[in-house]
Structure 1
Amino acid sequence: MADRTSSSITIKAAKTEIMAVIADLEAYPGWASGIREFAVEETGADGRPARARLTFDGGPFSDTVGLSYHWEGDDAVRWELVDKGNVVTSLHGAYTLAEGGGGTDVTYELAVDVRVPMIGMVKRKAEKRIIDSALKGLKRHVES
């Protein structure tokens, strides 16, 4: 698996409230930049998405991929690519939540591989941009 890029942010809300927003995949286009569509294809016994199809516009790249989700209560969610797209060949990600004194610390990890050859430093910068944008959008959406 590729190296992961990660970043964290503190959100002034409880883990349950934040995880409810994270689990509402179909609402992502309203607050997560670059996400054009998210369609849940299968839900698990807990009612949360188990499989979904994501369509994104990532600057020079746009693609549609299938993802599988693994939920750990309100502590974490991990996802992985199950249906490759035209550009994305591997994808692993996670949100991990930990309550702290000033709110909940949310860490987003992401590793993406694409068909187009890319220098590691450039790839990590792109992942960092995706992560930071997602975390800021999540914070704005939850705290609004």
Structure 2
Amino acid sequence: MAVSGVKEFEIKADPETVMKAVAAVDRLPEWSSAHKKITIESTHDDGRPHRVRMAVSILGINDEQVVDYTFEGDDKVTWTLVESGQQNQQDGSYVLTPTDGGTKVTFELTIDPKIPLPGFLVKKAQKTALETASKGLTKFVENF
């Protein structure tokens, strides 16, 4: 059963700075406790990551995932799951919108686990990911 969620938050930095932090996927473990190891397997022509392999652990479930990233300037980044031992689907995005005080970030995430898990556990994992994205990314950008 796939679940989707959205989290909006503001970061006191311009969209270009926020996107630079988001694009630094090799540094994900610094602000996301779920990400244990990151390997960038390929990059786009501009040097931003394209295919990324990551070791992830959330709520005691360990997984190795491969995701493909697509960037739309400094406004949007999306990723799609290519391989995973634990998920059928994972699609996510960050949309960055300039504000008077910085950048509004809209984070969307859809996950579909392969193994049947209780709905509350899937929703808890998703909530953890959404909270990590808002709090962890905000703190990371402020110190970037």
TM-score, length-normalised on structure 2?
0.92
Take 2:109 and 2:81, find their aligned partners in 1: how far apart are those partners? 12
Aligned equivalent of 1:138: 137
Aligned equivalent of 1:81: 81
Take 1:46 and 1:138, find their aligned partners in 2: how far apart are those partners? 22
Report whether the alignment pairs 1:64 with 2:60. Answer: no
Equivalences, count: 143
5 Å matches for 1:64-143? 64-85=64-85, 87-143=86-142
Deviation (angstroms), 1:90: 1.1
- Give the secondary-structure state (helix, strand or coil) at the position aligned to 2:116: coil
Letter in 1 for 2:109: L
Q: Quick one: structure 1 residues 76 and 11, their matched pair in 2 at CA, closer, same or farther if it must change by over 3 Å?
A: same
Take 1:31 and 1:126, find their aligned partners in 2: how far apart are those partners? 16
Letter in 2 for 1:106: V
The 8 Å contact of residues 33 and 134 in structure 1, kept in 2 or not, is answered as no
The 8 Å contact of residues 6 and 128 in structure 1, kept in 2 or not, is answered as no
- Give the secondary-structure state (helix, strand or coil) at the position aligned to 1:4: strand
Segments of 5+ residues of structure 2 without an aligned counterpart are none
- Give the secondary-structure state (helix, strand or coil) at the position aligned to 1:116: coil
Deviation (angstroms), 1:113: 1.1
Deviation (angstroms), 1:123: 2.2
Residues 110-133 of structure 1, C-alpha deviations (whole Å, 9 max, x = no match): 111112213445423321221111
Deviation (angstroms), 1:48: 0.6
- Give the secondary-structure state (helix, strand or coil) at the position aligned to 1:33: coil
Take 2:59 and 2:89, find their aligned partners in 1: how far apart are those partners? 18
Segments of 5+ residues of structure 1 without an aligned counterpart are none
Letter in 1 for 2:39: A
Take 1:122 and 1:6, find their aligned partners in 2: how far apart are those partners? 17
Letter in 2 for 1:142: V
The 8 Å contact of residues 78 and 95 in structure 1, kept in 2 or not, is answered as yes
CA RMSD, 1 decimal: 1.6
